[in-house]
């Protein structure tokens, strides 16, 4: 069996050695990678007047270098005439020159770029670093190829789409998300799993509502729209009370409400969107139901954020072939994650409109790396990530352990899952009543 280098080995031995090697070779590598600039005219003139040889080209300055858990992070001050793009295009050459696994370039501010380098393939066996609990609605989801943690941050990116071919790792990603959300207080999980509930039913104890067929899904989404309207009323009432206080204290969304008045945040997890939007029999009723479901989802995606309702959609494809309104819905899903896909069309559905550079990347994910995915945001940036392998048992244990955090949402009580035939509301697990 091949020996795998553990993380401590990098930090203890290889990391400091690589840091010294990088500092020693810095100048020559910059020159070899054409990342130096010609000496200034002033220095050339002085050298000419003093009859001295022409000065050497100027090398960008490595102002800070530190060893991290997975590699090195360096900060570089650019020379006049250089830009981030110069370093980004040389990333592959830098990686070979410094014998690193990966080099990712990021601009910190004008004139300063950060080089994040990994010393080994961090996505081969994902080991998440310990992360401090944070405020807001954020979940540490996966490791990025540069060794940093990829967070699912609902305040930054309210709605997201998770795509991938069969057996690409979508369900494990979704499981990991539910596991992370399950630990957060005042968060209600709402699930739609039309695969007979096989993915979400084992996690049911932490769900405030769970449905497994399109008819119930429509009723549930309409109830959520009703809840959204009520939450807007709560926000309006709070605005009225505080109409004479300075502008900064008047809120336009749920996050600005005092904590005791803030209704539970709702994350709607939909496994396999195609099951909701495909019309199998071609009947008029099915078509009507499909249109109503998509319309409800579009409304939730457009207006839900301020009322604390977030969408997390999962599917193998997400294109116009799923029906009218799908592309409008996709435009609202600004968080995009795509696992391995088999064709360019699907890759374009995920990234064509926001990060064209990511299209090729998600088609190149190898079959033997399930869970690896490309994540992109509407700003156009993208990165490769991989979730740690998470078993259903581990996820169910976390959901069971945090079942007492499940908020009771009266509007959704009809769909509160019953576990082993006993409604959770009647079981020994105490339920949390929603704030105001
Ligand atoms: N991050 C990961 N690391 C290692 N193995 C993984 C990872 N994610 C998924 N797998 C493995 O890949 C296989 C497929 O995963 P998963 O069921 O999540 O795929 P899927 O895309 O949901 O497939 P389907 O659409 O057919 O349900 C499983 O055996 C799972 O254990």
Q: Over the range 347-383, which residues count as b (16 or more CB within 10 Å of their CB) and which as e?
A: bebbbbebbeebbebbbebeeebbbbbbbbbeeeebb
The sign of the torsion formed by the CA atoms of 129, 130, 136, 140 equals positive
Q: Report which ligand 1 atom has the smallest distance to the Cα of 168.
A: 21
Residue 206 Cβ inside 6 Å of ligand 1? The answer reads: no
pLDDT digits (tens, 9 = 90+) for 131-146: 877 777 899 999 998 8
Our answer on whether the CB atom of 315 is closer than 6 Å to any ligand 1 atom is no
Angle in degrees, CA 244, 247, 251, rounded to 5: 100
CB atoms within 10 A of CB 107: 15
DSSP letter, residue 408: E
Say whether 341 sits in a helix, a strand or coil.
Answer: coil
- Domains belonging to the chain, first-starting first, are 7-118 (3.30.980), 138-433 (3.40.50.300)
- What pLDDT is attached to residue 89? 93
pLDDT band at 425 (very low <50, low <70, confident <90, very high): very low
- Token pair belonging to 298: 């579009």
Residue 16, pLDDT > 90, answer no
d(CA 357, CA 68): 28
389 lines ligand 1 (CB under 6 A): yes
**Whose alpha carbon is nearest atom 20 of ligand 1?**
167
In this predicted structure, which of 14-28, 176-190, 312-326 has the lowest mean pLDDT? 312-326
Give the whole-angstrom CA distance, residue 406 versus residue 182: 8
Q: How far apart are CA 139 and CA 181, in angstroms?
A: 7
- Which of residues 247 and 124 earns the better pLDDT score? 124
Residue 295: strand, helix, or coil: helix
CB contact at 8 A, 172 and 180: no
Collapsing DSSP states into helix, strand and coil, what is residue 251?
coil
Best residue among 371, 375, 390 to mutate for probing ligand 1's pocket (most ligand atoms within 8 Å of CB) is 371
CA–CA gap between residue 337 and residue 420 (Å, rounded):
34
Residue nearest to atom 30 of ligand 1 (CA): 169
Residue 77, SS3 per DSSP: strand
Over residues 211-220, mean pLDDT: 91
- The mean pLDDT value for 297-302 works out to 92
Q: Do residues 230 and 303 touch, judged by C-beta distance below 8 A? A: no
Q: Report which ligand 1 atom has the smallest distance to the Cα of 199.
A: 27
The mean pLDDT of 412-436, rounded to a whole number, is: 57
Element spanning 330, H or E:
helix 326-332
φ and ψ of 333, to 5 deg: -95, 90
**pLDDT mean across residues, the chain:** 85
Q: Is 317 in the pocket of ligand 1 (CB under 6 A)?
A: no
Positions at the binding site: 164-171
Two structure tokens written together for 400: 């069971």
Q: Residue 270 corresponds to which tokens in the numbers above?
A: 């939909």
Distance 226 CA to ligand 1 centre (A): 35
Instruction: Please name which of 58, 279, 73, 312 lies closest in space to residue 191, comparing C-alpha atoms.
Output: 312
Could you tell me which residues are beta bridge partners of residue 335?
Answer: 160
- Pocket probe for ligand 1: among 176, 370, 375, 395, the residue whose CB has the most ligand atoms within 8 Å is 370
Average pLDDT over residues 308-327: 86
Any atom of ligand 1 within 6 Å of the Cβ of 227: no
Q: Which residue has the higher pLDDT, 388 or 12?
A: 388
Nearest ligand 1 atom to alpha carbon 174: 18
pLDDT tens figures, 361-375: 888 898 889 999 999
- Place 31 in a pLDDT band, splitting at 50, 70 and 90: very high
Residues 233-260 have a mean pLDDT of: 70
Q: What are phi and psi of 408, to 5 degrees?
A: -90, 115
pLDDT in tens, 60-113: 999 999 998 888 999 999 999 999 999 999 999 999 999 898 899 999 999 999
Distance 171 CA to ligand 1 centre (A): 6
Residue 416 has pLDDT above 60, yes or no: yes
Question: If you measure from the C-alpha of residue 393 to the centroid of ligand 1, how many angstroms do you get, rounded to a whole number?
Answer: 14
Alpha carbons 307 and 301: distance in angstroms, whole number? 11
Residue with tokens 């309104």: 325
Span from the CA of 389 to the centroid of ligand 1 (angstroms): 8
Q: Give residue 423's pLDDT band: very low, low, confident or very high (50, 70, 90).
A: very low
The β-bridge relationship of strands 407-408 and 138-144 is: unpaired
pLDDT at 342: 84
The H or E element that residue 301 is part of is helix 284-303
Q: Which residue has the tokens 């209600």?
A: 188
pLDDT, position 60: 95
Report the range of poorest mean pLDDT among 214-218, 313-317, 322-326, 429-433. Answer: 429-433
Residue 310 has pLDDT above 60, yes or no: yes
Residues tagged in the binding site annotation for ATP: 164-171
Structure tokens at 159: 């709605």
Q: Is 169 in the pocket of ligand 1 (CB under 6 A)?
A: yes
> Which segment of 163-172, 245-254, 273-282 scores lowest on mean pLDDT?
245-254
Ligand 1 close to Cβ of residue 164 (< 6 A)? yes
What are residue 247's phi and psi, to 5 degrees? Answer: -50, -40
Cα separation, 200 vs 398, in Å, equals 13
Question: Ligand 1, closest atom to CA 372?
Answer: 1
DSSP letters, 188-246, are EEEEEETTTTTTTGGGGGGEEEEE-SHHHHHHHHHHHHHHHHHHHHHHHHHHHHTTTS-
Greatest alpha-carbon pair distance for the chain in Å reads 94
What's the pLDDT tens digit per position in 174-183? 999 999 999 9
State in Å: Cα 31 to ligand 1 middle: 44
Interface pTM, i.e. ipTM: 0.96
Q: How far is CA 223 from CA 160, 193, 257, 409, in A?
A: 21, 17, 22, 11
Q: Which residues contact 152 (CB under 8 A, 6 or more apart)?
A: 138, 139, 141, 160, 177, 180, 335
Reduce the DSSP state of residue 33 to 3 states and report it.
Answer: coil
For residue 53, what pLDDT band results from cuts at 50, 70 and 90? confident
Query: What confidence category does residue 9 fall into, taking pLDDT thresholds of 50, 70 and 90?
Result: low
Asked which of 107-111, 190-194, 245-249, 280-284 is least confident by mean pLDDT, the reply is: 245-249
Ligand 1 centroid from CA 77, angstroms: 42
């Amino acid at each position: 069996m091949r020996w795998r280098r553990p993380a401590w080995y990098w930090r203890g031995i290889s990391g400091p050695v690589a840091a010294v090697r990088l500092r020693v070779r810095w100048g020559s590598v910059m020159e070899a990678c054409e990342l130096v600039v010609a000496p200034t005219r002033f220095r050339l003139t002085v050298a000419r007047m003093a009859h001295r040889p022409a000065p050497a080209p100027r090398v960008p300055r490595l102002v800070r270098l530190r060893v991290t858990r997975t590699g090195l992070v360096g900060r570089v001050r650019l020379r006049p005439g250089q830009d981030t793009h110069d370093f980004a295009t040389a990333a592959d050459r830098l990686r070979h020159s410094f014998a690193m696994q990966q080099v990712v370039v990021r601009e910190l501010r004008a004139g300063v770029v950060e080089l994040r380098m990994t010393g080994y393939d961090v996505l081969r066996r994902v080991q998440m670093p310990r992360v401090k609990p944070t405020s807001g609605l954020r979940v540490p989801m996966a490791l990025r190829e540069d060794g940093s943690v990829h967070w699912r941050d609902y305040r930054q990116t309210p709605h997201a789409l998770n795509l991938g071919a069969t057996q690409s790792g979508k369900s494990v990603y979704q499981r990991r998300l539910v596991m992370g959300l399950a630990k957060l207080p005042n968060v209600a999980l709402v699930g739609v799993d039309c695969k007979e509930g096989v993915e979400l039913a084992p996690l049911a104890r932490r769900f405030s509502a769970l449905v497994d067929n399109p008819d119930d899904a429509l009723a549930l989404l309409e109830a959520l729209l009703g809840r959204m309207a009520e939450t807007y009323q709560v926000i309006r009432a709070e605005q009225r009370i505080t109409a004479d206080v300075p502008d900064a204290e008047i809120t336009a969304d749920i996050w600005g409400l005092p904590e005791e008045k803030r209704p539970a945040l709702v994350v709607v997890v939909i496994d396999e969107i195609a099951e909701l939007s495909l019309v199998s029999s071609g009947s008029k009723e099915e078509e009507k139901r499909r249109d109503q479901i998509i319309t409800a989802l579009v409304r939730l995606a457009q207006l839900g954020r301020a009322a604390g309702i977030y969408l997390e959609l999962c599917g193998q494809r997400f294109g116009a072939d799923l029906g009218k309104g799908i592309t409008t819905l996709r435009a609202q899903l600004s968080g995009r994650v795509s696992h391995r896909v088999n064709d360019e069309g699907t890759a374009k559905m995920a990234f064509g409109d926001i990060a064209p550079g990511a299209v090729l990347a998600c088609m190149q994910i190898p079959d033997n790396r399930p869970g690896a995915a490309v994540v992109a945001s509407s700003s156009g940036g993208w990165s490769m990530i991989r979730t740690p392998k998470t078993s259903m048992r581990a996820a169910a244990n976390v959901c069971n352990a945090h079942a007492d955090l499940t908020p009771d949402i009266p509007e959704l009580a009809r769909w509160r899952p019953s576990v082993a035939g006993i409604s959770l509301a009647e079981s020994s697990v105490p339920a949390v009543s929603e704030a105001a």
